[in-house]
Amino acid sequence: MRIIMFMFFMVGLVLLLVNCAATHPEDIDTEPPSKPILIPHIGTVGDLVLNPELFVWEDALGWDGKPINDNNNGIDSMSGGDWIRLQWERVFDNVGVSRIDIYRFSDMMGQQETDPIGTVSGAVVEFEDFMIGVDPRVGVEWNYFIIAYDHAGNYAVSDTVSFMLTEKPILDTPEAGVRLNNDSLRSTLFSWNYASGSAADFRFLVFAEDDDGEVGRLVWSKDLLSNTEHMTMYEGIDLERGRRYWWRVDTKGWPIDEFGTIRSGSKSVMRSFEMGM
């Protein structure tokens, strides 16, 4: 009987010690994740910067040190829908990030209260950089920030980034999939419709399709410095025969920040054309 009582006593003592150890202040995680870094709008595909040493125009670079493309320029509009894409750097935590909550507010709307618009949870927040599309209201400059939580409930808040989505150009001619050669290409009128005056100017872009069937490198672009110009012709280098190419029209508008970066715009859908053999 004494042995049984002693065993119960020892089991209770062990449970008490385990409970005390688990709740010891030194074992409670109070360290928040690293501060999330939202990437502001760096520029638009086709942007050039002047090299002050060589006095030549060079491709503007994205956050990864490569020429600006649709995946390395921070917060931006997205082709194919009325969406804004957010990008942030990887968030670190000593025990792991549990989730990231996304918020927005707008001074233009007189909306000072934050509006929760999405949550990213699980292992996806561990990426080196992460992109997510959010559905904004066209013509409103939205301010975005994110809050990262770890599994213990600690959190860290990012700074804000801003962007305003303008109306998208609607592509008109030529029709999708048209077959051209280098002579007919230079006489083909690329045109689009645009109902609003919210764009400061347009940028016409032509991309080559890569060997995997994806839209690849930028071949040529042209800025039309008036939002009343809704057409242009191709004036770039001869294109490779037997390859598919894609074109779209981007808009750029206001506002412009203190660094001269335009924080608004939109992208039309992509449309293809074929170069005959």
pTM of the full predicted structure? 0.80
Cα dihedral across residues 9, 11, 12, 17: positive or negative:
positive
d(CA 103, CA 171): 33
- Tell whether 34 is covered by a domain: no
- Tell whether 39 is covered by a domain: no
- Tell whether 146 is covered by a domain: yes
Residue 11 and residue 53 in one domain? no
Bridge partner list, 131:
87
d(CA 261, CA 256): 5
As given in the structure block, the two tokens for residue 224 are: 């039309």
CATH number at 90 reads 2.60.40.10
Under DSSP, is residue 80 helix (H, G, I), strand (E, B) or coil? coil
Tell me the residue range of the domain where 118 lies.
48-165
Q: Amino acid identity of 276?
A: G
- Tell whether 52 is covered by a domain: yes
d(CA 250, CA 264): 11
Under DSSP, is residue 271 helix (H, G, I), strand (E, B) or coil? strand
Per-residue pLDDT of the chain in tens (277 residues, 90 and over written 9): 444 443 334 434 444 444 544 455 566 778 888 899 999 999 889 998 888 888 888 999 998 899 999 989 999 998 877 888 888 888 887 777 888 899 988 876 555 667 788 788 755 554 445 566 677 778 888 889 999 998 888 999 999 998 888 888 999 999 999 999 999 999 999 999 987 666 668 999 999 998 888 888 999 999 987 767 899 999 999 999 999 999 999 988 765 666 656 678 899 999 999 998 7
- Tell whether 253 is covered by a domain: yes
For residue 197, the model assigns a pLDDT of 63
Query: Structural domain tally of the chain?
Result: 3
Residue 138 and residue 176 in one domain? no
